[in-house]
Amino acid sequence: MNMHLRNDGILAVLLALLWAAPVGILAAGGGGLPTPGSFNDPVLAITAIGASPNLTIVSALIFSSGVALVFLVVALDERLMGGAHRARRLGVIFGVICASFLMLDGALGVTALAQIAHMDAHQASVDAAYLTTLGLRNAIDRVIPLTLGLWALTVHWPARRRSDLPRPLMVLGMLLGATGVVGSALPAAGTASVPLAALWAAAYAISVLRHHGENVPAGQPS
């Protein structure tokens, strides 16, 4: 039990870092990434993507966060095992769907966009391939905050009347849920759900590791 708690806490720390890293790259100027105004211009965007590995790095981080999220969804489900059965099942489903789209979004960035970046941006076929990939990623970027938000709501809303989760974590989870659902329609809210998700994962890690520390008998190594 204690080993599982420690591993879950480490996993939550990893997920927080994976979600925070792309935000940090963008906050630092996002060197080598296309500027928002140039995304729809294949020549400018493909040139920028090909000149820097940053997009591949960000995409790999997104992909990895999807893998980590699957494990964390299952870990949180185990922690809430005494809760509402239907809400728990819905939470697992939405969480795994969100993780799947994170992996797909990251894989497109690592593979498709990286390949297109090494082609001649002035060819019409290359422009078409880039815009098709961009359109697909834009659609995925609407699904990710929606499923993330629905997962957060189905997990944290039923838990509000019990002591399964600390109240600050519950409030943060419901805020993440509402922001994610709104983010499916408003891109700005979808963007805001990324740092919120990183903050939630960090708060969950603190909660789990603190609970782990409280359950380790005196004199026993953690």
Give the chain's domain count: 1
- Summarised one tens digit per residue, pLDDT across range 41-90 is 787 777 777 777 777 888 889 999 998 998 888 888 877 775 567 677 88
Question: Does 115 reside within a domain?
Answer: yes
State the pLDDT at residue 83. Answer: 56
Question: Does 221 reside within a domain?
Answer: no
Sign of CA dihedral 145, 148, 151, 156: negative
Question: Does 222 reside within a domain?
Answer: no
Question: Does 153 reside within a domain?
Answer: yes
Q: Are 94 and 147 in contact (CB under 8 A)?
A: yes
Nearest in space to 58 (alpha carbons), one of 38, 97, 37, 28 = 28
Q: Are 95 and 80 in contact (CB under 8 A)?
A: no
**Could you list the residue range(s) of the whole structural domain that residue 113 is in?**
2-215
**Residue 43, token pair as written in the block:** 């020549």
State the pLDDT at residue 22. Answer: 84
Length of the chain equals 222
Sign of CA dihedral 210, 215, 218, 222: negative
Please report, for residues 48, 175, 204, the alpha-carbon distance to residue 52 in angstroms, rounded to integers and kept in the order given: 7, 35, 34
State the pLDDT at residue 101. Answer: 94
State the pLDDT at residue 145. Answer: 93
Map residue 115 onto helix, strand or coil.
Answer: helix
Question: Does 113 reside within a domain?
Answer: yes
Q: Are 102 and 59 in contact (CB under 8 A)?
A: no
Contacts of 13 (CB under 8 A, 6+ apart): 201, 202, 205
Question: Does 192 reside within a domain?
Answer: yes
State the pLDDT at residue 82. Answer: 58
Question: Does 16 reside within a domain?
Answer: yes
State the pLDDT at residue 197. Answer: 94
Segments of the chain with pLDDT less than 50: 218, 222
